[in-house]
Amino acid sequence: MTAHWQQAADVANSIVQSWQQPGAPGGAIVLFDAHHIHSTHCAGLADLAQQTPFTADSVVRFASITKHLFAALVTGPGRRYLRLEDTLAQHLPQLTGANGSVTVGQALDMSSGLPDVRETLSLLGLSVYNATTAADLLAFVAREGDLSYPPGSEISYTNTGYRLVEEALKAKGVLFNELLQQYVCEPLDINLFAPESWFDIVPGLVPGYWNNGQQWQLSSAGLHLSASGSVTGSLHDLTRWLQTLLADTGPGAGVLQRLSAPRNLNDGRTSGYGLGITSSTLGSQTLFGHGGSHAGYKSYFLLHPELKIGVALVANREDITTSESALRILAAALGRTLPEKGHDLTPGLYVAPDAADWLEINGVTATWLGAGETLWRDERHGDAVSLSSTFPMQLRHDGAAIVGEIGHAARRFVPVQPDSASLDNLQGRWFAPQWRSEMVIEGDALTMGIGPAAIRATLQSLGGDRVLATALDGPWEKRFVLARSGDSVRLLLNRSRVVTFTR
């Protein structure tokens, strides 16, 4: 089988042309095999103030594409310092809660149950712009030791595992950026860099942008970056590294095999997420890749190891549909078509009969606990499925209810029956005393935070002492559920389900 490079290039070109608006940021796409770049497609601006064009040499934030680089180093030269079977508490004894029992492997394969730090902070009233340090965040995680679910029982995306494994190495005097330079950048003569914070100077870094509905704005984020998403570089640099993975030589020798090795849940099932890398199928073809999303930056890569071909994409704008774009391009290269987007599910809001879970079906998107994913038709079984191994879904109707799996865990939802009591019982002031956080609910409005920097959300009843909150956090809409039980209320997002406030 040979790749259809021209068809793939045509799809890539049509995608980048959609970014070619006057005065707008852009991005680049590269199609490559293990030894050659077959085509490069660029559009838009790298810097709106300087009006410089975006190229494959523009330096961007890779965001979560960082994860596969970190996992490659942990399972390679990092093996002398820790093993995948080790618990986090073996290397970070300050983790005395349930999080200490998570293994290094679970921390990297998204089965850990570790609440995502950024999402947890947002439920305490900190915006995406609030600056934090690595040491303070480690102390925060150590004190908030609860898990969102038992390790190995489901898949749910979280950045915290990568942060903690990085801290475990750091405790031994081993720094991620030094490993990156020694084992990746120097052998390949490429310029990748892992800054500690958004505010560190990165040579050549282009700004990231998001659109507030009226104009493009500069992005920023205060959270310490960590090995979950810190690496910067150009698309050309990224491509050079990915080519070594496909060629299975040099610093890339054995990496894909290590990262894509099957990872099993407690019930023995294999998940679609390995170590910093996802697996997906297109017909009979198996693809490996990962995406990244920072405020104002998007990235994605997708590899076909058998044919040794791949596609990589980076952008300095928030509105890019990266995973679908990469799938479309590689499908064209393989002469295949994607399944039909859509489903037979009835639109609307649903809730779990006896839990705080909520699900919304809107257009071709299913949103569960605030995180959305596109649904596609599974013609074999008639189910609605996602094509994401970080957010796997398989849903169908059972009468008026929706049943199936999300994150490889069984779920059941029934249509929402709103009531006035759910909102009435939440009125007043609520506190998370150990974090000195306060939440005030008046009518259908929630406020948390200080003065004019407070986060405000609108509320709607889901029935059964559950209320859905909708707020804005920088460039993103945030939707979380408040589930009351007596004088306590738990706030839940897909990536964090441990925050509790009390009267």
What pTM was computed for the model? 0.96
Extended strands (E) in 263-422: 278-282, 285-294, 297-304, 309-315, 348-351, 358-362, 365-368, 371-374, 376-377, 384-385, 393-398, 401-406, 409-415
Q: Is 262 left (phi over 0), alpha (psi -120 to 50) or beta?
A: beta
> Measured between alpha carbons, how far is 344 from 103 in angstroms, rounded to an integer?
39
Contact 296, 233 (CB under 8 A): no
User: What is the 8-class DSSP label of residue 419?
Assistant: -
CATH code for position 32: 3.40.710.10
Last residue of a domain, one of 392, 415, 438: 415
pLDDT-flagged residues of the chain (< 70): none
Contact 357, 368 (CB under 8 A): yes
Looking at the fold, whether 321 and 353 belong to one and the same domain comes out as no
Does any domain span residue 466?
no
What pLDDT was estimated at residue 337?
87
Which single residue is written with the structure tokens 């199928």?
281
Looking at the fold, whether 29 and 52 belong to one and the same domain comes out as yes
What pLDDT was estimated at residue 338?
87
Last residue of a domain, one of 383, 415, 447: 415
Last residue of a domain, one of 287, 309, 333: 333
User: What is the 8-class DSSP label of residue 58?
Assistant: -
First to last CA, the chain: 65
Domains in the chain, number: 2
What pLDDT was estimated at residue 382?
77
Does any domain span residue 206?
no
Looking at the fold, whether 180 and 320 belong to one and the same domain comes out as yes
Does any domain span residue 277?
yes
Looking at the fold, whether 185 and 290 belong to one and the same domain comes out as yes
Does any domain span residue 141?
no
Looking at the fold, whether 311 and 355 belong to one and the same domain comes out as no
What pLDDT was estimated at residue 281?
87
Looking at the fold, whether 299 and 396 belong to one and the same domain comes out as no
Looking at the fold, whether 182 and 295 belong to one and the same domain comes out as yes
Does any domain span residue 241?
yes
What pLDDT was estimated at residue 202?
97
What pLDDT was estimated at residue 381?
72
- Domain carrying residue 264: 5-69+175-191+228-333
Looking at the fold, whether 403 and 321 belong to one and the same domain comes out as no
Does any domain span residue 258?
yes
Does any domain span residue 399?
yes
What pLDDT was estimated at residue 156?
95
What's the CA dihedral at 447, 449, 455, 457 to 10 degrees? -20
> Measured between alpha carbons, how far is 199 from 269 in angstroms, rounded to an integer?
42
Can you name the residues that pair with 395 across neighbouring β-strands? 384, 404
Looking at the fold, whether 12 and 64 belong to one and the same domain comes out as yes
Does any domain span residue 481?
no
Looking at the fold, whether 296 and 249 belong to one and the same domain comes out as yes
Looking at the fold, whether 298 and 355 belong to one and the same domain comes out as no
Looking at the fold, whether 290 and 185 belong to one and the same domain comes out as yes
